[in-house]
Structure 1
Amino acid sequence: MLTVQLDDLTHHKNSVIGHSPWKTISQEMIQAFADATGDHQWIHLDVERARRESPWKSTVAHGFLTASLIPLLNQQVINVRGKSASINYGLNKLRFPAAVKAGAQIRSKMELLDVTRVDEQRTLATYRTTLEIRGGEKPACVAEHLAMYVRS
């Protein structure tokens, strides 16, 4: 994990910050996300039907479940000091190049694209976050993730 002072974050611009540990995407996580969002499509929940009929021969995680793990995974890659809060400010771009099968492992690769001082209290960082699938050729998710840091 990279630990950096907020004022020194700009020194890491245009570089790979690091990778998170691998996280397993369980069928239980997929079920909980389906219940929370109301998206109960069979490709996510019906294990037997997915084995028979889906192109992946397995149930797969919702794309937005995968994207929702970006903050959790990224906080294991970088620790920014000199702030009182980190706000998930949103996404500029979001793509899902490959499905995440139940039981697969993903990790975050973070690259710092930009750092902008918004005002005396706030600094906006733009990261390219790539969620890699262990053993996969394509990533599960690629996003420009925005983090607003509030100075302490």
Structure 2
Amino acid sequence: MVIINNFEEYKSYEGKEIGSSNWHLIDQDEINKFAAATLDHQWIHTDPEKATTQGPFKSTIAHGYLTISLIPYLWKQIADVRNIKMEINYGIENFKFGQPVLVNSEVKLQAKLKSILNLRGVIKVVIEATMIIKDNQKPAYVGDVIFLYHFND
């Protein structure tokens, strides 16, 4: 895990890979809970029997937005940004899903610092987020996550 204490330390990673999270297993229970929370009960996610016999992947798959929603959790395994008053999830851009995440797959997040700007005391950080699927050549997705940080003075 990378420890970042201030803007200058963060800036030193610009254009570089920051790191990777631990592997995270996405099982049917997690998929079902996400479906319940988002009211998205499409059978390809929640009906293992139908997905196995009629689905294109012969298995249920995680919701794409479930995999995106893991970013804050997995990001905290990559970087510990300290000495901040507040961190805000500001946006996501340019996400492309390249591969479905089958139930019981393990995934991890790789993070690269694309850019960092000091906007009069508010630090805007753009992280290129890539979700890797264990034993799969193509990533689940690649896209940009934008955080705003308010460092302590």
Q: Where do 4+ consecutive residues of structure 1 move more than 6 Å? A: none
The total of aligned residue pairs comes to 151
* Aligned pairs (5 A) from 1:1-152: 1-7=1-7, 8-120=9-121, 122-152=122-152
C-alpha displacement at 1:71, in angstroms? 1.0
Percent identity over the alignment? 34
Structure 2 CA distance for aligned equivalents of residues 83 and 146 of structure 1 = 16
Partner SS state of residue 48, structure 1: helix
Deviations 1:100-139 (A, max 9, x none): 011000000000000001122x101100010000001111
Alpha-carbon RMSD across the aligned residues, in angstroms, is 0.9
Cα distance, 1:82 vs structure 2? 2.3
User: How many Å separate the matches in 2 of 1:90 and 1:69?
Assistant: 14
Which structure 2 residue ranges, 5 or more long, are not aligned?
none
Query: For residues 16 and 77 of structure 2, what CA distance do their matches in structure 1 show?
Result: 17
Distance 1:75 1:119 in 2: 25
Secondary structure of 2:77's match?
coil
| In structure 1, distance between residues paired with 2:131 and 2:53 | 27
CA deviations on 1:43-98 (whole Å, 9 max, x unpaired) are 00110111111121100000000111011101110111221221111112111110
